[in-house]
Amino acid sequence: MSTVTEQENEPQEIELQLLLEAIYRRYGYDFRSYSVASVRRRVQQHLIVARYDNICALMHDILHNGEAFSALLSNLTINVTEMFRDPDFYQAFREKVVPVLRTHPFLKVWHAGCATGEEIYSMAILLKEEGLYDRCQIYATDIDKEVLEKARRGIFPASELRRFTENYERSGGKKKLSDYYTEKYDNIIMDPALKKNVIFADHDLATDQVFGEMQVVLCRNVLIYFNKELQKHVFRLFKDSLDIAGYLCLGSKESLRFSGCADAFDIIEEKQRIYKKRM
For residue 159, the SS3 value is helix
96-103: Cβ within 8 A, 24+ apart: 96/268, 96/269, 96/274, 97/216, 97/247, 97/268, 97/274, 98/126, 98/130, 98/132, 100/245, 100/247, 101/130, 101/132, 101/215, 101/216, 102/130, 102/131, 102/132
d(CA 77, CA 113): 9
Angle at CA 204, nearest 5°, toward 202 and 207? Answer: 135
For residues 190-199, average pLDDT:
97
For residues 157-177, average pLDDT:
96
Whole-model pTM?
0.84
For residues 42-56, average pLDDT:
87
| Fold exhibited by the domain 87-277 | Rossmann fold (3.40.50)
Per-residue burial over 133-156, b = 16 or more CB atoms within 10 Å of its CB, e = otherwise: beebebbbbbbbeebbebbbebeb
- Higher-confidence residue: 275 or 41? 275
Mean pLDDT of the chain: 90
The confidence score (pLDDT) of residue 41 equals: 85
pLDDT at 80 over 90: no
d(CA 84, CA 87): 5
pLDDT at 210 over 60: yes
Percentage helix, strand, coil for the chain under 3-state DSSP, each rounded to 5: 45, 20, 35
State pLDDT tens for residues 122-146: 999 999 999 999 999 999 999 988 8
CATH 3.40.50.150 residue ranges in the chain? 87-277
For residues 206-232, average pLDDT:
89
For residues 30-44, average pLDDT:
84
Least confident of 75-89, 194-208, 260-274: 75-89
Assign 78 a pLDDT band (cuts: 50, 70, 90).
low
Written as one letter, the residue type at 238 is F
Least confident of 1-15, 40-54, 217-231, 244-258: 1-15
Least confident of 49-63, 88-102, 106-120, 147-161: 49-63
d(CA 28, CA 201): 16
For residues 22-39, average pLDDT:
84
For residues 29-47, average pLDDT:
84
pLDDT at 8 over 50: no
The confidence score (pLDDT) of residue 1 equals: 47
